Structure 1
Amino acid sequence: MKDKTGKTAERLKSKKLYLLDMDGTIYNENEIFDGTLEFLEEIRQRGAQYIFITNNSSKSVKDYVKKVNDMGIFADEENFYTSSQATAAYIKENYPEQIVYCMGTQSLVEELRSAGIEVVTEADDRASIVLIGFDTENTSEKIRNTCIMLRKEVAYLATNPDLVCPVSFGYIPDCGSMSIMLKNATGKEPFFIGKPEPIMVNCVLKKLGVDKEDAVIVGDRLYTDIKTGINAKIDTICVLSGEAEMKDILEGEIKPDYIFDSVKEIYEKLTEVENE
């Protein structure tokens, strides 16, 4: 079994856990990529597990379960770990009992509240934390309130550093771009909780009791997905079905362990080994 560059990738067939990015890796917005269902079934047939780890905080876990189920993907809430969940865990551990002002979708707000965190969505002097997420419901009023809050002495967090989110026609600004907009207005930068921080990966490995050498992360972005694997010290696969292109890998400093055109190609290579 070899990857796109001809590198031997035999150890991939012994992996017990596949940590999968979503947007740009298994689907694009609402269109599932060819080969995704076969790839996921192959993982199950091998007795391994897959967990979707996504930086997209615009949807709750329940939203994601419905989204992928509608695409024909077998998954429940145990198959997901999102930046929203990681953010809630981080806030509870590092800022217990504090009030959070959130610029994010209603799904993100509800995810935080379901974790027992008090959240406000209007400028409020009681809030000691400002959190921003990938807000597909953003308004000029929300941006104004966030700028008001950032004038105060508050902890400033963001769910993820992604600059763009892939959609059917190209890309739209993601949380990282929103943070740049706010920095231009306030001079402040947040601490990013999602990928490439290893927080999400480490939480999943601990929860499932899987060793690092038995896990691999699959994603389409070098500065989030692949960097996360490097930071967490697990193997990485970059697929060229989303943001990253081969020239980005060749010219950049972040190098994945393996490169494939898509999850379909990974599936084909895995089954090719079985058929030899």
Structure 2
Amino acid sequence: MLDYTGKSANKLKEKTLYLLDMDGTIYNENEIFDGTLEFLEEIERRGGQYVFITNNSSKSVEDYVQKVRAMGIKAEYENFYTSGQATAMYLKENYPNQVVYCMGTKSLIKELREAGIEVVTEVDERAGVVLLGFDTENTSEKIRNTCIMLGRDVAYLATNPDLVCPVSFGYIPDCGSMSIMLKNATGKEPFFIGKPEPIMVNCVLKKLNCKREDAVIVGDRLYTDIKTGANAQVDTICVLSGEASMEDILQGEVEPTYIFKSVKEIYEGLTEETEL
């Protein structure tokens, strides 16, 4: 089994946990990539398991389960760990009982509240934390309120540093770009919770009692997916179906363990017959 550069990737046949990015890796917006279903089935056929670790905080796990099932992907709640879930955990551990002002989608706010966090969406003096998510329901009023809140003495967090989110026609600004907009207005920069911080990966490994050497991260972005692997000491696969190109990889500071054009090519490598 060889990767895109001709490097031996036979170690992948021994992996028991695939930590998969979603946007740009297994689908683009609402279009599933060719080979995704076969790839996921092959992981299970080999006795392994897959968990989707996504930085996209605009949807809750419930939303994601419905989304991927509609594409034909077999998935349950346990197959996901999102930046929204990681954020809820981080808030409860580091800012217990604090009121959180959130600029995010209704799904993110609902998920945080269901985790027991008091969330407000209007200017509120009680809030000690400002949280920025990938807000696909953004308005000028939300931006104004967030700037007011950031003018106060508050902790400032963001779910993920992604600059763009892939869609059918190209890209739209993601949470990282929104944070730059707010920095230009307020001078404040957030602490990012999602990838490339190892928080999400460490949580999944602990939950599933999986060793780092038995896991691999599959994603399309160097500064989130691949850097997460470096930070969490887990092998990585960069697929060229999303944001990163070979030129980006060659010029980048973070090097993936393996490179494949797509998850279809990973599947084809896993199922190729070994010459005797």
TM-score normalised by L of structure 2? 0.99
1:135 maps to amino acid? D
Change in CA separation of 1:13 and 1:266 when aligned onto 2, cut-off 3 Å: same
1:93 maps to amino acid? E
5+ unaligned residues in a row in structure 1: which ranges? none
What is aligned with 1:230? 230
Shift of 1:19: 0.1
User: What is the count of residue pairs matched by the alignment?
Assistant: 276
Measure the CA separation in 2 of the matches of 1:116 and 1:225. 29
What is aligned with 1:151? 151
What is aligned with 1:164? 164
1:105-130 CA-partner distances (Å, limit 9, x unpaired): 00000010000000000010000000
Q: Secondary structure at the match of 2:52?
A: strand
Measure the CA separation in 1 of the matches of 2:81 and 2:179. 23
Change in CA separation of 1:122 and 1:10 when aligned onto 2, cut-off 3 Å: same
Change in CA separation of 1:160 and 1:243 when aligned onto 2, cut-off 3 Å: same
Measure the CA separation in 1 of the matches of 2:51 and 2:168. 24
Shift of 1:273: 3.9
What is aligned with 1:22? 22
Shift of 1:252: 1.2
Matching of residues 128-139 of structure 1 within 5 Å: 128-139=128-139
Shift of 1:253: 1.0
RMSD: 0.8
Measure the CA separation in 2 of the matches of 1:216 and 1:228. 11
Measure the CA separation in 2 of the matches of 1:208 and 1:275. 34
5+ unaligned residues in a row in structure 2: which ranges? none
Matching of residues 1-276 of structure 1 within 5 Å: 1-273=1-273
Q: Secondary structure at the match of 2:272?
A: helix
Q: Which runs of at least 4 in structure 1 moved beyond 3 Å after TM superposition?
A: 273-276
Shift of 1:275: 7.9
Percent of pairs with identical residues: 80
TM-score normalised by L of structure 1? 0.99
Measure the CA separation in 1 of the matches of 2:242 and 2:153. 38
Q: Secondary structure at the match of 1:204?
A: helix
Measure the CA separation in 2 of the matches of 1:114 and 1:255. 38
Q: Secondary structure at the match of 1:128?
A: strand
1:19-73 CA-partner distances (Å, limit 9, x unpaired): 0000000000000000000000000000000000000000000000000000000
Measure the CA separation in 2 of the matches of 1:273 and 1:222. 31
